[in-house]
Each structure stands twice: as structure tokens, then as C-alpha cells.
């Protein structure tokens, strides 16, 4: 059957007509010379392709998976459509050349850069971990991140590529998630209230020390810092999308008062709420 597409382009999808399991064909052993010939053929074929229209485009069609690639200096060279949408950027021209510090609060950006340094220095072949990021509502949540080094033809590392995705149900059943999942949901739900981490730990049937240790293992930060990051990121959205005063935003995001809000906001973004709003509204 045909699905809708741009004028002049026909996108065809087919129903599965035979669900009978099939065995792969038996393959003849190939010689080293034949394998070498095909590797040269592949290299020649790759040289004919347009670099900006390569395999990374597939990630635009995989729901919930985000792709990026950066050069050695940390500048973004590629990003999937989903990733650009998370940063509210309409197209590639908005994100190319940006760094993690251009896009994220300093503490989050520094964690990403530290990972990249390990890959660029050859100290790791792959980085896989649970990383603090934000969901479509702008609230921090966990994502599974995989990063790999990018090599040139001489085998030298020239950058980093990676994917981010939300963990599936099976992965969420793993102990590392289960030990902090309930705490995360409480913080995400109640961050605007006068929430105490000791109360969160009790609600989860854990001691404060247990929750802190397990949170640190999962996210690399304490539950207290997760709560503050959640509040700051919620405040960022209100600064960008509303004309509420600092006192009103402080109240809506769970800060004691405007002074406390300004202190925590500046510590995690490097600027005051007023300066942040002024820069974003004059660009």
C-alpha cells in the first residue's frame, strides 16, 4: 500500500505475506583476497557518496533514538531531527558548530565533555552509561547513552558519535533503575513542593544514605542535586515562555524565595535569571 509523501515521491510499504521462519543460506568460505577486494570496493563506493546524506539520516526515522556526531573540538557536526527538536531548533543550520556548553547547563555539559575526552584520548573504546538529560517537558530524566570515537583513514580519532534513548521496560526492571525509579518519579512529580530528600527516601523504603549511594551510581549526582536541577530546568522553561517575575517562578518551581532561586540558578547556568531571560529575548 502507499503512504502519503511529498509530491513526486511515492513511499511504499508492504504487508508481511509470509511469517514462516527462514534459515539463512549456507555460505561458501571466501578467500582473504576476495575479502580485501570487497573492502576496496566499499571504500571506493563510500568516496562517491555525499557526506551529509549518509547513514545518520536513518535516526530521523527511529522513534525515541537520538543521534549526534562531534569533531575533536566538541563542535556538533550532525544531529538527528529528534535531537534538534529537543533543543527547539528548526534545522541543521541552528545546531551545527554548537558545543555542549552552548546547549546545556554547565554541570551537565561538563559531564558530557569528560566522557568525550576519554574517547578522544584513547582511554576508552566505548562509553555506555545512564545520563541525566531532559524529556519533552523539560524535566530531567534518565537516558541510556552510547558513545564511540570517530576515526579518520589513518586510524586517528577525529571526533565522537553517539546515541541517546529512553530505557525500555526490560531495562527499567534492572536493579540500577529499580533502586531509584520511585525516587525519580516522586521528584519529577513533586519538585514544585517543599520536598525533603529524607522524606523521599522514606517513601521509597530506603535510608537517606542508601538513596544517595544508589542515585550517585545511577546518575553520577546526588538526589539533592537532581532535585535542584529539576527545579532549575523547570525555571528555564518559565523564563523562556512566560513573563512571570522571579518571585513567581521561584514559588512555582519549589524554591524558598527569589534570592534562593537566583543563587541556585546562577550556580547551574552561570548567569542570573534576569540575564538569562534578557539574552534569550533579545536574540
Domain count, the chain: 2
Domain that holds residue 190: 170-282
* CATH at 222: 1.10.10.60
Q: What is the mean pLDDT of residues 185-196?
A: 90
| Of the candidate ranges 215-224, 251-260, 271-280, the one whose mean pLDDT is the lowest | 215-224
Cα(87)–Cα(95) distance, integer angstroms: 9
Q: Assess if residue 15 is contained within a domain.
A: no
Whether 192 and 252 map to the same domain: the answer is yes
pLDDT confidence bin for 111, thresholds 50/70/90: confident
Question: Using an 8 Å Cβ cutoff, are 77 and 93 in contact?
Answer: no
Cell 552561570 belongs to residue:
270
Q: Assess if residue 209 is contained within a domain.
A: yes
Cα(60)–Cα(63) distance, integer angstroms: 8
Q: Assess if residue 25 is contained within a domain.
A: no
Whether 78 and 161 map to the same domain: the answer is yes
C-alpha cell at 190: 513533586
* CATH at 143: 3.30.450.20
Cα(151)–Cα(160) distance, integer angstroms: 9
Question: Using an 8 Å Cβ cutoff, are 140 and 105 in contact?
Answer: no
pLDDT confidence bin for 36, thresholds 50/70/90: very high
Q: Provide the total of helices (H) and of strands (E) in the chain, helices listed first.
A: 13, 7
Q: What confidence tens digit (pLDDT) does each residue in 53-102 have? A: 888 889 999 988 999 999 999 999 999 998 888 888 888 889 999 999 88
C-alpha cell at 182: 520511585
Whether 71 and 155 map to the same domain: the answer is yes
Question: Which of 166, 196, 214 corresponds to the end of one domain?
Answer: 166
Whether 186 and 115 map to the same domain: the answer is no
Q: What confidence tens digit (pLDDT) does each residue in 228-248 have? A: 988 998 898 899 889 999 999
Q: What is the mean pLDDT of residues 166-183?
A: 74
Whether 231 and 158 map to the same domain: the answer is no
pLDDT confidence bin for 123, thresholds 50/70/90: confident
The model's pTM is: 0.61
Whether 267 and 212 map to the same domain: the answer is yes
Whether 278 and 174 map to the same domain: the answer is yes
Amino acid at each position: 500500500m502507499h503512504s502519503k509523501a511529498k509530491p513526486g515521491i511515492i513511499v511504499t510499504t508492504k504487508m508481511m505475506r509470509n511469517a514462516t521462519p527462514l534459515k539463512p543460506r549456507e555460505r561458501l568460505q571466501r578467500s582473504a583476497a576476495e575479502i580485501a577486494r570487497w573492502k576496496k570496493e566499499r571504500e571506493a563506493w563510500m568516496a562517491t557518496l555525499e557526506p551529509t546524506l549518509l547513514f545518520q539520516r536513518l535516526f530521523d526515522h527511529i522513534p525515541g533514538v537520538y543521534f549526534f556526531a562531534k569533531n575533536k573540538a566538541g563542535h556538533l557536526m550532525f544531529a538527528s531531527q529528534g535531537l534538534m527538536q529537543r533543543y527547539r531548533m528548526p534545522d541543521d543550520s541552528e545546531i551545527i558548530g554548537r558545543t555542549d556548553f552552548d546547549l546545556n547547563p554547565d554541570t551537565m555539559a561538563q559531564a558530557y565533555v569528560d566522557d568525550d575526552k576519554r574517547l578522544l584520548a584513547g582511554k576508552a573504546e566505548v562509553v555506555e552509561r545512564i545520563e541525566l538529560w531532559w524529556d519533552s517537558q523539560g524535566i530531567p530524566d534518565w537516558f541510556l547513552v552510547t558513545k564511540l570515537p570517530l576515526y579518520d583513514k589513518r586510524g586517528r580519532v577525529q571526533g565522537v558519535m553517539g546515541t541517546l534513548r529512553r530505557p525500555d521496560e526490560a531495562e527499567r526492571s534492572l536493579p540500577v533503575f529499580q533502586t531509584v525509579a520511585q525516587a525519580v518519579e516522586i521528584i519529577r512529580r513533586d519538585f514544585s513542593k517543599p520536598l525533603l530528600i529524607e522524606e523521599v527516601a522514606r517513601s521509597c523504603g530506603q535510608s537517606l544514605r542508601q538513596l544517595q549511594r544508589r542515585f550517585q551510581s545511577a546518575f553520577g549526582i546526588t538526589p539533592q542535586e537532581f532535585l535542584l536541577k529539576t527545579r532549575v530546568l523547570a525555571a528555564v522553561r518559565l523564563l523562556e515562555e512566560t513573563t512571570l517575575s522571579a518571585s513567581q517562578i521561584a514559588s512555582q518551581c519549589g524554591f524558598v524565595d527569589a534570592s534562593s532561586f537566583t543563587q541556585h540558578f546562577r550556580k547551574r547556568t552561570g548567569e542570573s535569571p534576569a540575564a538569562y531571560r534578557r539574552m534569550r529575548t533579545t536574540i
